Structures are given as structure tokens and as C-alpha cells.
Amino acid sequence: MKIAIVGSGYVGLVSGVCLAHIGHQVICVDNNLDKIKTLKKGQLPIYEPGLLELMHEGVRKKRLTFSSSIGEATRKSQVIFLAVPTPPKPNGDADLTYVENVARQIAQHMDAYKLIVEKSTVPAETGKKIRRTIHLNLAKKFKNGSKLLLDFDVASNPEFLKEGTAVHDFMNPDRIVIGVESKQAEQLLKEIYKPLKPKILVTNIASAEMIKHASNSFLATKISFINATAQICDRVGADVLKVAEGMGLDKRIGRQFLDAGVGYGGSCFPKDVDAFIRVSEKSGYDFSLLKEVRRVNENQRHWFVRLVEEKIWNIKDKTIGVLGLAFKPNTDDIRNASALEIIHLLQAEEAKIRVFDPQAMGNARKILKDVVFCENAYAVAEGCDCLLLLTEWPEFKELDFGQIRDVMQQTVIFDGRNFLDGGHLRNIGFDYYGAGRGKSL
Ligand code: UGA
């Protein structure tokens, strides 16, 4: 199948590379010329495990190309996926300007039947608006009032991949959701995904759009639920790890997304929860549950800073080491990372900050001011009054904490992800504090 993916960010690039891997002819498009140059040189603008190898394979087998021209991509493809950004506006609404612009350009260059598929996370009814934009532009192009000479379909096919495991998630989906208005669109999308032998759910476009919003918001709700529970665990002497384990054994609940800590971040959950709150408001429903999910998440970062203050006394002039900056492990993405907000809160109280992250240092240098960037975790620890573990990179588990202890000023560790072996750390002389671990360690 000849496919174009407009937008070469995380979702677009992973989708494009993986669709080429399963046998399709794919053009990845982006209006950022530097990004296209980088891709044409065989390099990736992002860090995502396993993606580079598959990209090279696609290029070698001549199934994957890169372009900055929506016109070229539209003419050469039958199916066009939209994976452009939908950033939040100040009021939380998703900004759909990119989606509209791309839809308009596709209409201008269409020369035969096309299936236009939204992959970006968009509010319900965006499909309708894309359809109308294309309709209006086609009518103008052929100067024939509203009578259409070219047939096209719009569909919704939300993506559920996670950064850090994106390639694996794409190739092994729990489900593929297809929101369509015609049999032709349904068949084309089923054909595209056939090699993955997935469980496919076919529905209308609005339901597909809602499934994506509701799924991300539900996962965020799970995280805020366990974080609120962790607050109580701390007060009553329970261990949230055991509580999550016990809850997770119930198949109806499941253990995933019950890891308490410094809260969720990234480019999706914060933005999507905000957008879903706005979608609900506009539809006339006050989704106050989701507002509370957001509040609990924000509170976790403030709670963590207060915990640090309680245990090391004054924050002013203390040297604080931070291990992990990315919003989660196995990515270099720091968008809405809990680590960044915690660092800003500590800097507001005049702490001196030292940081290390295995992949996110480049991105962090563009944003963090007045911090010492260290070459590894041992260098971070030098002279510190305490260490904060804010991203659970597997390699942090392998650190020699005896060596770290010996170079610190005060041996206090705050584990914002409940990731380290607290019992061992206490045995070798650390004051160890997790989130919701009570007095159970
Ligand atoms: C999320 C969804 O999981 C994907 O299904 C979805 O496709 C994607 O958003 C998207 O909309 O594009 P992602 O943002 O890559 O994926 O990352 P997650 O693994 O979901 O983690 C999000 C945040 O929640 C991270 O900051 C992570 O540390 C935090 N988290 C996750 C917790 O604090 N506790 C948990 O138990 C799980």
C-alpha cells in the first residue's frame, strides 16, 4: 500500500518506519527541513530504542523515503495519515491549526481518491471538521460550488504506542481502533494492519476519537489514584508497593499504571487530560473527576519538595543531586517531566542543583539554567546534601551506592519512583525515603 505520514514526530516517525517494516511503501513528511535533512542522512531526531535499525532497513529496501512536500506525498499515496502536533492552547483546548493546514494542503494536491486518517490525538468531531475543510477546498479548486468531482474518506485511527517502547508497542498492539464512515476506508485500514494480525475494533469516527481521550485520561486517573493512596500510606504506615501489588492481583484492576511517585509527565497525559476536560466542558458536562486527577498530579511534585525540606531542613544553599530528567526511562523526552518542575521549585528556594540523565542531557541543556550538568551519577553525588531519583533508568539500579555515599556531604536519598532497594540503602547508611512507603522498610 502507498502511504504518506504527515508529521515526523514520535508517533509519525515510529508509525512510518514500522509500516515500511511490514511491507508498505511509506513517505514520511515534515515541514521542518532540518528534521528531513537529518532523516535523509540516516539519523534520528529523537532517541527511541530499536527505531534506527528499522529506519535503515526501510531505506535500504527502498520502502521508506522522507520529504518536506505534502503535495508530492499526496500525489504518490492512497492513504495519508495525519500525525501532526496538537499542542495545548492556554485554555487547555487542543490547537488544531496544524491539522487544518495539512487537510487544506492535501485537498489542494489531491488528484484521485484518498483516505485521510487522523492519528494525532484530537477532540471528538475533528474528523467532521477535516472532512468539511477538504470538501470546501476541493469545491474551490474545481470551481464547481459544492459538487465533488473527487471522492475521499476521512477516518480516525488513534495510536496507543508509548515512548521508550514505541516500536514494540506498534508491532504488538493490544488493539487497533478504526473509526470509519465507509466500507472502502475500513477495508483499506484493515489491509494496512493485516500483517500485524491485530484485534481490530471498527467504530464511527467520534467513538474512535473518544476512545483515545478516554484511554489516556483513564490511565492518568489510575496514576493519580495510586498517588493519592500513597499519601495515606505514608501517614498510616502502609507500603504502597504492597498495596499496588494486592490491588493489581485483581484482574479487573491490573497492576500496570499503579506506580506511585512524583506523578505523570510527558507530551501526552498532561495535555490530553486538559483537552478532555475542555471537550467535556464544551459538551456541557463538568468532568470534575478529571480536574481532581490533574490536581493530585500537580500536588505530588509539591509534596515531594516539602518532603525534601522536612528531612534536610532548609533548602536554601543546599546542594541537591538529581538522577534522571526524562519524563520516563528509555527516552530523551523531557516535555512536562516531573524532574524539571521539581528542579524549578527547588531553585526557587535557592538550592544548588547537579544533574545527570543517560539520554536527556542535550534536551535539558536547552531548558535548565544554573544547574551543574555532570557526566555520570557519581559526579552528581559529589558534595551533595541529598540525592533525588526522578526517572527510573534501569542503570541507576546498578550503581555502586557505597561509592556514592562516600562522596556525599549528607547521605539522604529521596526515591521519587520507588525504584531503588531502600532496605539495602538503609543498611549501608543512607536515610532513604520513597513515596508512600510508610514505616515499612
Ligand atoms: C502514553 C500512553 O501510555 C500511550 O498509550 C499513548 O499512546 C501515549 O501516551 C500517547 O498518547 O501518545 P507515554 O506518554 O509515552 O504514553 O508514556 P507512559 O508510559 O504512559 O507514561 C506517562 C507518564 O506516566 C510518565 O511520566 C510515567 O513516569 C508516568 N507513570 C506511568 C507513573 O507515574 N506511574 C505509572 O504507574 C505509570
| 122: CATH | 3.40.50.720
**C-alpha dihedral (131, 135, 137, 138), degrees to nearest 10:** 130
Do 299 and 222 reside in the same domain of the chain?
Answer: yes
For the beta sheet containing 371-373, the strands, ordered from the edge strand earlier in sequence to the opposite edge, are 371-373, 352-356, 319-323, 386-389, 412-415, 431-433
Do 364 and 234 reside in the same domain of the chain?
Answer: yes
Element (H, E) at 309: helix 288-312
In a domain, 315, yes or no: yes
In a domain, 440, yes or no: no
Average pLDDT for runs of 10 along the chain of length 441: 96 97 98 96 93 98 97 97 93 91 95 94 88 89 67 95 95 97 97 96 96 96 98 94 98 98 96 93 96 98 96 96 97 96 98 98 97 98 98 98 98 97 96 85 47
Tell which one of 223, 255, 341 to mutate to probe ligand 1, the residue whose CB is within 8 A of the most ligand atoms. Answer: 223
- What is the value of pTM for the model shown? 0.94
Strands annotated E in 122-163 = 152-156
Tell which of 203, 232, 264 closes a domain: 203
| Number of separate domains in the chain | 2
pLDDT at 148: 65
Pairing between β-strand 176-179 and β-strand 319-323 as defined by DSSP bridges: unpaired
- Domain span at residue 178 reads 2-203
Dihedral sign (CA 93, 337, 317, 227): positive
111 C-alpha to center of ligand 1: Å?
Answer: 39
HSE at residue 49, side-chain half, CA atoms within 13 A, is 12
Strands annotated E in 114-209 = 114-118, 152-156, 176-179, 200-203
Dihedral sign (CA 61, 62, 67, 72): negative
264 C-alpha to center of ligand 1: Å?
Answer: 7
Cβ burial, residue 313 (10 Å; 0-12/13-18/19+): exposed
Ligand 1 pocket, Cβ-based, cut-off 6 angstroms: 11, 121, 159-163, 216, 219, 223, 257-259, 261, 263-266, 268-269, 327-328
In a domain, 79, yes or no: yes
pLDDT at 218: 98
328 C-alpha to center of ligand 1: Å?
Answer: 8
Q: Round to the nearest angstrom and report the end-to-end CA distance of the chain.
A: 56
Catalytic residue numbers, as ranges? 268
Do 147 and 183 reside in the same domain of the chain?
Answer: yes
Closest CA to 326 of 361, 352, 372: 361
pLDDT at 441: 47
